[in-house]
Amino acid sequence: MQEYITLFLTCWPSLLNGLQSTIIIAAASLFFAFFIGIILAVMGLSHIKACQVIYNVYVYFVRGIPVMIFALFLFFGVGALLHVKFNPIFAAILTLTINASAYLAEIFRGGIQAVDQGQVEAARSLGLGYFRTLRLVVLPQAIKIMIPPIINQFITTLKDTSILSVISVRELTMNSQIIIAQNYMPFEVYSFAAIMYLIVIVALSLLAKWVERTLRYDH
Amino acid sequence: MIIEVDNLVKSFGKNIVLKDVSFHVNQGEVVCIIGPSGSGKSTLLRCLNRLEEAQGGSIKVFGTDVLKLKDMNAFRENIGMVFQMFNLFPNYTVMQNITLAPMQLGKMNKKEAEEKGMALLKLVGLEDKRDVFPSTLSGGQKQRIAIARALEMNPQIMLFDEPTSALDPEMVGEVLSVMKKLALEGMTMVIVTHEMGFAKEVADRVIFMGDGVIIEEGPPAELFNNPQHERTQKFLKSVLERV
């Protein structure tokens, strides 16, 4: 046990560095994905046929391709085609932004559609206009429905960063592999990495629970 | 005449729900629309404030042509609507449900809206529920709040779309008695209902609909006691003889 802790302290700076990259990449990707997701959801909910087609193609396209293939294709494939060497962090954020935006768009669209149509009718029949109805009646209810799947997507994206080791991003998984290549102690080092992921994700889950509880209006 | 409907046609795709419906409602009149499910009663009611778009004919409310109207919002303020499923806003308290629209639309300030809200809560007998959320209320209480919410806008017409159909039997009475109070105060009301006893007692006129047309209409005493049309006779027999 003593040795295990000593080893952990030795690895800690490098692992912490990796964890930082992991969190920064996930946070940046989710930030961009959030806004793109909103725009996409508006397109998906619109009555304009062209918008719906773009929305559907985008969502099916992203959902149909594994993140690892997408990252490899972008970083090596597109890089080779254009004769450029992408910055791995840039490629990583682009990959995860595109991926998460499709899933978030589906969450936003589904959340709004899940609000009972009777709510809209009641608001409209009181004389409230379309946008007031959306802002005062539909969105507050939709957001409540959306919170758990949104946090779920945050967790998924955070875990997906580990895939980015394949395009040489120095995140937590990559740094673990580098350490193992030097000390040949995969059991210990991978367990460190696993525990670090676990702590961050459990913290996120607890936050999700708290937000859900806070947003309840019917007690 | 406060509502004039002429030759109204409404279809959902190929399914024609209203075929050439004409009727009118006078100021202060209580009109009950009865008939079997799928006869177009609710659709007719929902066309009146354009929750459904009609395909043909004309609807005039207060003399304005509803189907050609540009600003639906200002128009709808004058028509209160009560739904089968109550449709209270779960994210607001009872008082917030009632005051939301008039305050947002700049009709009243908070104080005025809440004062009127309290008076209406008194009318429906639920003053003590002003600060609770709708999820804590029974169906009958929800519907009475929904009526108060609609009345807060000072509507000149109230539309009721099967207001007691989703209620447990023991709660039907409390909602009907509020509606009766309104009728006695002279409110113009159009009510789609299956409550024949209520229609008999409170309505000035009863309209019987079947298959998208008005089959028969008249004062309740005539329509219930001496229906002219065979369809009406059959319907009333099956409804009234139910044990």
Render chain B in DSSP notation, one character per residue: --EEEEEEEEEETTEEEEEEEEEEE-TT-EEEEE--TTSSHHHHHHHHTTSS--SEEEEEETTEEGGG-S-HHHHHTTEEEE-TT----TTS-HHHHHHHHHHHTTSS-HHHHHHHHHHHHHHTT-GGGTTS-GGGS-HHHHHHHHHHHHHTT--SEEEEESTTTTS-HHHHHHHHHHHHHHHHTT-EEEEE-S-HHHHHHH-SEEEEEETTEEEEEE-HHHHHHS--SHHHHHHHHHHHT--
Angle at A173 between CA A169 and CA A174, to 5 degrees: 45
Over the stretch B165-175, which tens digit does the pLDDT of each residue have?
999 999 999 99
Q: Tell me which chain B residues have a C-beta less than 8 angstroms from the C-beta of A137.
A: 89, 91
Mean pLDDT computed over every residue of chain A: 93
CA angle B229, B235, B239 (to 5 degrees): 145
Does residue B88 sit at the A interface (CB-CB below 8 Å)?
Answer: yes
pLDDT in tens, B104-163: 999 999 999 999 999 999 999 999 999 999 999 999 999 999 999 999 999 999 999 999
Contact B77 A126 (CB under 8 A): yes
Torsion of CA B135, B138, B142, B144, to 10 degrees: -160
Question: Which residues, given as ranges, of chain A have pLDDT below 50?
Answer: 219
Nearest-angstrom CA–CA distance, A215 and B205: 48
DSSP state of A161: G
Paired residues of B210 in beta bridges:
B213
CB atoms within 10 A of CB B57: 17
Minimum CA–CA partner of B88 in chain A: A119
Query: In the prediction, which pLDDT does B243 show?
Result: 59
Q: How far apart are CA A15 and CA A2, in angstroms?
A: 19
ipTM of the modeled complex = 0.93
Instruction: Please tell me the predicted confidence (pLDDT) of residue A1.
Output: 84
Under 8 Å CB pairs connecting chains A and B tally to 68
Inform me whether the C-beta atom of residue B104 falls under 8 Å from chain A C-beta atoms.
yes
What's the predicted TM-score (pTM) here? 0.86
The model's pLDDT over B205-233, given as tens digits with 9 standing for 90+, comes to 999 999 999 999 999 999 999 999 999 99
Which pLDDT value is given to residue A218? Answer: 58
Tell me the backbone φ, ψ of residue B162, rounded to 5 degrees: 45, 60
**Residue ranges of E strands in chain A:** none
Do the chains contact at A127 and B77, CB–CB below 8 Å?
yes
Residue B91 to residue A217, Cβ atoms within 8 A: yes
B100 to chain A, minimum CA–CA distance in Å? Answer: 9
Which residues of chain B are within 8 Å of residue A125 when distances are taken between CB atoms? 49, 51, 76, 79-81, 150
CB B33 within 8 A of CB B45: yes
Chain B contact probe: residue of A125, A133, A147 with most B CBs at under 10 A: A125
Element (H, E) at A139: helix A139-160
- Cβ–Cβ under 8 Å, residues B120 and B101: no
Nearest CA in chain A to B47: A125
pLDDT digits (tens, 9 = 90+) for B34-69: 999 889 999 999 999 999 999 999 999 998 898 888
Instruction: Kindly compute the dihedral angle of the four CA atoms of residues B13, B19, B24, B29, in this order, to the nearest 10 degrees.
Output: -70
Residues 6+ apart with CB under 8 A from B213: B18, B19, B20, B21, B40
- pLDDT given for residue A214 in this prediction: 84
Q: What is the pLDDT of residue B241?
A: 77
Output the pLDDT for position A211: 85
